[in-house]
Amino acid sequence: MTDPKHALGHAHADLMGVAFESFDKEREEITLRFHAPDSFITPRGSVQGGLVAGFLDEVMGWAHVWATDQAEAPLNLEISMSLLRPVRAGPLVGKGRVVRRGRKVIFLEGELFDETGTLLARSTSTAIPTPRPTGEN
Amino acid sequence: MARIYERRRSPSSELMGSEFVSFDAEKGELTCRYTPPPSFASPRGAVQGGLIAGFLDEVMGGALLAVTEARFGAAEQRLPLNLDMNLTFLRMVPMETITAKGRVVKVGKRVAFLEGELLDREDNVLARATSSAIPTPVPGVND
């Protein structure tokens, strides 16, 4: 298994301040920490709704990567999300789970919390499993 | 304080290299261009799927601003507070300038329904979105 911190170190992951927290193999559930940057903020003073999907995609994707021992990554076909509360700049916790992992299609879900554990947003995704891309573009 | 959808208006739209192209009042459709910043790249060399929603939210929100201004006047401009967003990813979104179109499907007092799509240079649809949102006054616009 590669160093998880290194494995998370792509451009978009740096932007969102991603850090690995834990992975529950039995539940195929990953916990990541984020730091929402100031550049994501709208005139409302919270993270732009669309960009919230960036965090959710990240937790859902890494749940799949870890569930396959870093061999595969999801190629998203669809993401649906509900935005329950405003997401502020600063620390966040994300949880991603594999709901069903087939050979051709996988189903993922994700949740985003503030530091006190309040649920801010949730998502589901349908994706195609692909070999994990390694290129640093 | 008219036509604020024509210029960059927040850190998030600044980040995404937002540029106004046109607004068709009859169709209720706003067209913008975005240039993904290098920090949006995934290991696939394209924009990370979730962050694609950033462009779509931006153009759908701009469409609601433009439509509410055109129909109800500058004082009645509304910005969407998103309740949900559904995204379909048809093709990879390249790390180059893309065109985005946002439309207001319906706007009432309590809920707005929005849709949007991203297009590449050849007009291929890259991604689509729909959103339901609460229309709210634009924060900080009283001047």
Chain A positions in Cβ-Cβ contact with residue B96 (cut-off 8 Å): none
Dig out the tokens for A12 from the structure.
């978009």
Task: State the Cα–Cα distance between residues B78 and B104, nearest whole angstrom.
Answer: 12
A100 in contact with B at a CB cutoff of 8 Å? no
Q: What is the ipTM metric for this complex?
A: 0.87
Phi, psi for B28 (deg, rounded to 5): 65, 40
Compare CB distances from A43 to B15, B82, B139 and report the shortest one's residue.
B139
Label residue A9 by pLDDT band (50, 70, 90): low
pLDDT in tens, A49-107: 999 999 999 999 999 999 999 999 999 999 999 999 999 999 999 999 999 999 999 99
Task: State the Cα–Cα distance between residues A40 and A37, nearest whole angstrom.
Answer: 6
Compare CB distances from B139 to A11, A44, A51 and report the shortest one's residue.
A44
Whether the CB-CB separation of B101 and B93 falls below 8 Å is answered with no
User: What pLDDT is stored for residue B9 in this prediction?
Assistant: 66
Q: Tell whether the model's pLDDT for residue A110 goes beyond 60.
A: yes
Chain A positions in Cβ-Cβ contact with residue B129 (cut-off 8 Å): 50
Q: Give me the mean pLDDT over the A1-23 stretch.
A: 73
Tell me whether strands B29-34 and B78-89 are parallel, antiparallel or unpaired: unpaired
Tell me whether strands A72-83 and A119-131 are parallel, antiparallel or unpaired: antiparallel
**DSSP one-letter code for B1:** -
Dig out the tokens for A94 from the structure.
């994300």
pLDDT in tens, B20-52: 999 999 999 999 999 999 999 988 889 998 899
User: What pLDDT is stored for residue B17 in this prediction?
Assistant: 86
CA dihedral A116, A117, A120, A125 (to 10 degrees): 150
Chain B positions in Cβ-Cβ contact with residue A55 (cut-off 8 Å): 50
Chain B positions in Cβ-Cβ contact with residue A133 (cut-off 8 Å): 42-45
A118 in contact with B at a CB cutoff of 8 Å? no
Q: Tell whether the model's pLDDT for residue B6 goes beyond 80.
A: no
